[in-house]
Amino acid sequence: MKEYYTPHRIVFLIFLTLFFIIICLIALIPFIHVLALSFSHKIPATQGKVALLPLDFDAETTKIFIGFNLKSYEFVLSKQEFINSLKISVIRILLGVPINMLLTIITAYPLSKRNTELIGRTLYAWFFMITILVSGGLIPWYMVITKTGLLNTIWALIIPGAVPVFNVVLLLNFFRGIPKSLEESAFIDGAGHWRILWQIYVPLATPALATILLFSIVGHWNAWFDGLILMQSPTMFVVK
């Protein structure tokens, strides 16, 4: 152990740690700047004087000083339209993300098998892959949602994208990397596919599932175009 932590290696590890800390701080600067802007008075904000600390403005002395100003938050939170949009966006995440995760898992598991285990596996995989390469078009997409009665409902924002194919591809490739001997041992002990999926594959795929969960949350939160097209009532609009 003493030979492993040589002076040269210790210096290298310290340098590497400091380097990545600096990189992380640099990456956080834009977020800190935006946060400081949100807590600043409109005068220093419009004058471009806000950097990493929030600035307030005293109208009597016309002085700018470091301090928090909550008027922008008070203005936004006083708008019922924003509250409704925020509620719709949160409901979309609470409903859409679990559905995305469930359908992604139960779709990726059989597609991760060999052709000898799932007859027509390649055909099924290409059936999903073709949706990434070729889109049905905006008008057919809108007509299908309209004819199925989903228009102007929260389900119009969830069901059309319930199976994110890109996430399925990521997860099935991760499932393929899990040792086959674990599944064979479980079969010998009498476990079925459903139990193997939830008690072996899913726990071992935690890193991939965490990534997919993040993709799903960000995807639902950032999506606004479908809400703009499919929601006819202003009370159903998502946060833009």
The count of C-alpha atoms lying within 13 angstroms of the C-alpha of 155, restricted to the half-sphere facing its C-beta, is: 7
SS3 content of the chain, % helix, strand, coil (to 5): 70, 5, 30
Please state the pTM of the whole predicted model: 0.78
Domain ranges of the chain: 7-75, 79-236
Polymer length in residues for the chain = 240
Collect all residues with Cβ–Cβ distance below 8 Å to 55 and sequence separation of at least 6: 36, 40, 41, 44, 45, 49, 64, 65, 66, 67, 69
Q: Output Rg (C-alpha) for the chain, integer angstroms.
A: 25
Q: Is the pLDDT of residue 3 over 70?
A: no
Averaged pLDDT, 234-240: 80
- pLDDT tens readout for residues 36-92: 998 998 888 888 888 888 988 887 787 888 888 888 888 888 888 888 889 999 999
- pLDDT tens readout for residues 103-148: 999 999 999 988 888 888 888 888 888 888 888 888 888 999 999 9
CATH class of 79-236: mainly alpha
